[in-house]
Amino acid sequence: MVTKAKKRALAKKPKKTRPTLAIPALKSDSSDFVPLEGGSGGKIPQLSEPPATATVLYVGRIPHGFYEDEMEGFFKQFGKIKRIRIARNRKTGRSKHYGFIEFENPEVAKVVADEIHGYLLFEHQLQIKPIPPERVHPKLWRGMNLRFKQRNWTEIERWRHNRERTVEQHQHLVEHILRRDGRCRKRIAAAGIDYEFPDFVGRKRPVPKKIRFDLD
């Protein structure tokens, strides 16, 4: 006799099962990422860094007192230096707090740019960036070995003012003064100021009166 439990088990329908996708076996070599369903894993290509070619470095935020001799003494510990130049003011000779340095070996320049960038020196963080060879200006190193000489600009301007001029140069100077005088008069009139002052041409200086002393 068939029991009731067996009848209930036979009456139940079998459950539907989902078809499983067959994932192919991985290759013997190791993959760098997990493969997707239905696909095989592959290796990520290794990107190689381009070779260093820049030998010239831009050095920014140079502190006061850290000049050519001090820079050479500091950077020569990394490699041989070819040239150093600090940008200076033409009139005063003071440093503009940036400069350039050139190494013989481009790999040394790359190490300096990577390791010394942001280095704290006398409360200044050095800013070092490599300059590609095609962007180096041909006049970058002009006058790097010239020492600055302080000029007496007062004497130079005095000589320019008092030098002898030709008739044409004197006429050009007078015309420039007249144009400037005309612009000044127009600005005064536009401001609504009623002010009269003598002209430049034909103006005569007042002659001081002679003082007589009556001697008894």
213 within some domain = no
Q: Which residue has the tokens 């490699």?
A: 79
For 140-153, b/e burial (b = at least 16 CB within 10 A) is ebeeeeeeeeeeee
DSSP state of 101: E
Q: Rounded to two decimals, what is the model's pTM?
A: 0.52
- One domain, residues 114 and 68: yes
**Spatial distance between the Cα atoms of 71 and 85, rounded to a whole number of angstroms:** 10
Note down pLDDT in tens along the chain; length 216 residues: 556 655 665 555 555 566 555 555 545 555 455 555 555 555 666 666 778 889 999 999 999 999 999 999 999 999 999 999 999 988 788 899 999 999 999 999 999 999 999 999 999 999 999 999 999 999 999 888 777 777 788 899 999 889 999 999 989 988 998 899 889 989 999 999 888 777 765 444 454 555 555 555
- One domain, residues 128 and 167: no
- One domain, residues 103 and 64: yes
The total number of structural domains that make up the chain: 2
What's the domain range around 168? 153-190
- One domain, residues 160 and 115: no
Q: List all residues 6 or more positions away from 24 whose beta carbon is below 8 Å from its beta carbon.
A: 40
19 within some domain = no
DSSP state of 192: T
**Spatial distance between the Cα atoms of 85 and 59, rounded to a whole number of angstroms:** 10
91 within some domain = yes
Q: List all residues 6 or more positions away from 95 whose beta carbon is below 8 Å from its beta carbon.
A: 62, 64, 67, 86, 87, 88
49 within some domain = no
Q: Are 142 and 88 in contact (CB under 8 A)?
A: no
Question: CATH number, domain at 80?
Answer: 3.30.70.330
- One domain, residues 118 and 166: no
